Structure 1
Amino acid sequence: MTDHIATEKAPAAIGPYVQARIAGGLLFVSGQLPIDPATGSFAGTDAPAQAGQSLTNIAAIADAAGTSLGKAVKMTVYVIDLSQFKAVNEVYAGFFQAPFPARTTVEVSALPLGASVEIDAIIAL
């Protein structure tokens, strides 16, 4: 298997990085913005809609690597407004079943391209 993953079912990297790398039996997924790969635009303007698209992108990358969100070990959610935590959490919960992955959620001052949410992941192969 290659050491990096690239799929057209998720947006291309917007800088000098890859969608994901494989190392030590794990898939390290780069931060996924809420870009719909079919349109090249953000999926929605609010944090919950954007979180859903970011997770959809991660799921597509995981699938391309032969794994799934169900094997996620660690997720990091970056939001520009922590008051949206509950709404983002509701969307996030729809993508996972117990046992849930470990997770960190942090508020940041800004995200690339003006996104409200960005999510990265570590997923077992």
Structure 2
Amino acid sequence: MQVKPYNVYVTVAYPPDTDTPGFAKENQTKPLETRLISETTSVCKPEQVAKQIVKDAIQGNFSSSIGSDGYMLSSLTCGMAPVTSITEGLQQVVTMGLFRTIALFYLGSFDSIVRRCMMQKAKSETIDKTA
């Protein structure tokens, strides 16, 4: 809001996992839990991500996201974010409950992944101590 009088707009990007050298390097040291959670969605091409972010920035959109997961994330985290149109604001209001319900299923799945990994680590540590 501070830069709005100067015709400066901000776009917040929610990029998904993107097939870049940095992502490949990250995957080499990523904890198992994080890798398994990350695998629940697809990896995007850098050109696709860049094209969408630039398009949204040019259009003056505050949020830029890719795919349905990204759209849901940007809607769920909109809070006091400005909207580009009344339609965008109404979509956020109408879909908030549905998206929160879907997000709870995601969170349950992610919790299950973390719990399984913890149990697997505990089992491995027990085996290592007895060996």
Structures share a fold, TM > 0.5? Answer: no
Q: Which is bigger in relative contact order (C-alpha 8 A, separation at least 6)? A: 1
Bigger helix fraction: 2
Bin for the TM-score computed over the shorter chain: under 0.3
TM-score, normalised on structure 2?
Answer: 0.26
Per the normalisation by structure 1, the TM-score is 0.27
* Largest Rg, 1 or 2: 2
